[in-house]
Structure 1
Amino acid sequence: MNTPENTRNNQRYTSFGDLSPSGKSQKARMMYDYLVKLSGNSPGELMDYFLNKSKFGKDLIESVKNEFRMLRMTLNIQALHQSLDKYSDQKSNLLALVADTHSRKKIRDMGFKVSNTQYAKAKRKAEDGLFFLGSKRHKADHSSRIIFEDTKEIVVSYLLNNSRASSNTCKVKQENGKYIYQPVYYLDSTKLDIYNSICREKPVIRLGLSTFYTLCPTNFKKGKKRADMCPICIKGENNEKRLRKINPEDNTKLSGQIRRQVGLYKKHLLVKKRQSEAYKACLDGLDSDSCVIVMDFKENFRIGGGPVEMSSKFFNKSQISDLGFAAVYKDSNGNKKYKYFNYLSKILSHDAKYASECLSDLLNDQFFRRFNYVHLWSDSGPHFRSQELIYSIF
């Protein structure tokens, strides 16, 4: 229920520009009454001194003059913008002068007649620093901007720190026009979040959003499906959502339990980050004498299917277990290479005995005799995190 006391409290903490006309009039009346009382019934003399002799008054007048100058400048740009032909490419060039500091709604409120496409184009030019009135250009010429190599390296490093490597590969075009196969990295965060992290942590770098997207290699992708997820991560994400809905002053048993679980989840993320950094450091430290083996069980599958199947065969198909090994090594030119080995079996137990037998057979392969150092990586499944598997290795 809104009482007169609540209304006064709301007006007290509301910005003057957000008040209603009656609220603004009331505030002006209160200020005048206070001036009369403060000046001893001489408000004119007090205001004359404040505006003409006081430092605070002079600063206020200068601030108002600056705002007026900015408004005049914007209106001049608006007049020039309106004088151009409706389909002129120069319209977005002029609009770029104000698109970086004013929202689309504010620009339209000031009298600019702009479409959503024209504003988006002007915003992109402003972010990239493309201010020109030259000949017609159909697209923003990113080649005219000098992009330093360290900026590219920073973008790639942030992408690597917020992604995980997969067993898939894709073609990536190089600067010389040739294509090479690179591993596909699936991003743990959106590209927009990664861009915001760069802007926040590296404020000295002038990097527009469109330029950031241009610098992102095509082998960094956002996964469409999250399979074989860690149960701690899934529960932790859900608990964070629940915690945001809880009142911070709520001290019930349930809220305390959720806070403890979120705390454990954040510690789990720190361990995950440390392991991810160690894995990437291991890959970066490879030479011609060493390799990395990543092992994991894939999802069981069935074989022998077809577009037309008899019911007896469809329901009697046996499952196949697939234990995969990915070997990562460097060739003579220092480029990372991937070689895959798969062990298919009707054994569905996924136990340490089967994993150790497959690993022993793998290490006896002719391919691994060239390496003196082999680094083994796996998830924390019980079939890999066991003394039996470690004993079989050593």
Structure 2
Amino acid sequence: MRFQDIVGQTDTIRTLKHMVGSNHLPHALLLLGSNGIGKRTLTLALSQYLLCTNRTDDDSCGACAACIKTSKLIHPDVHFSFPVVGAGITSDKFMPLWRQALHDNPYMDSNQWLQFIGAENKQGNINKDECQNIIRKLSLKTYEAPIKTLIMWLPEYLGNEGNRLLKLIEEPPPHTHFILIAENAELILNTILSRCQLVKIPALTDQDVVDGLLQRELSTPDKAWSIAHLANGNFNEALTIAANKLGNDAGLLLDWLRKCYKGYGPDLVKWSESFATLGRENQKHFLLYGLHFMREFLIMLATGSTNARLQPEELSSAQNLAKVLNINQVEQIVRLFNDCYQYVERNANPKILFLDASIQLHKTMKRWDV
């Protein structure tokens, strides 16, 4: 991955290149920003730029042995850590799948990754064995390059296991760099945050998304602008829309809302039982999508505008919902979705949780006291 291959992020690229060129790249760097904006592609390009033996002020050469190995994710001095599933399992076991997943879509989100490796109803984590493996690998000398790099995607999944890495992050071996890629700083240990230099990554502009789609020949100019509007700075979402897919979450949410409005008990029970089989990661992803939908719907209600960042079928459903929901009801639904997300993370029984949520949704939509 070269800087020239990245969608947008011109200012951040300039900052990272300046850090390297001035020999001020910190030993622990944290790239923080929302999903789908290119944090991982920035990190891959940075690692290649660091190891390139013939780099210029603008970019890595892309042709030296280090560039070729780094671009294929096989350089022995570039190590990866990411969420996996299973007790005692480390990232090393999933490296072939990791390479394939990034080749297919370097902008993938955590749910796409966990489903790609067959997580099903298991939650991903970065466990004790992974931390011990990181300590072991970074204690070794470099193989080929003058430096070695550990790229950790989503340190939020470390939890308290991150305490095992504190000393290593604070006092790493010589010529060692940590690059952490995160989306939610509140889920990262403060002791880790305090040891990293933070670089906040902005969302992509609509123009960035359009340029990225056109460069990849995934859309026509007119359609690209429509996709960019819907994607709201998320290039992963733009890729999904460009493939003419209404996400499973969108269809599932609209079907759920219709069933909840009707309030027919057997349908709600059947829906809850079916949804419970999807697994916790899928359930969390669905609730996050529901919060996005309600946010856009709330903007539409508050402003009277139909210029919401929703796909045509979603926008049509939102316009129909506007006939039966007011702002206070939407606020109740948002709180309900937030509560459900927290309960899913705490391993609540999904059948009971979502049947109860369905009943509360019905009462809210019918303006009953809840």
Q: TM-score, normalised by structure 2?
A: 0.21
Q: Which has the higher contact order (CA 8 A, sep 6+)?
A: 2
TM-score (normalised: structure 1) = 0.20
Larger radius of gyration: 1
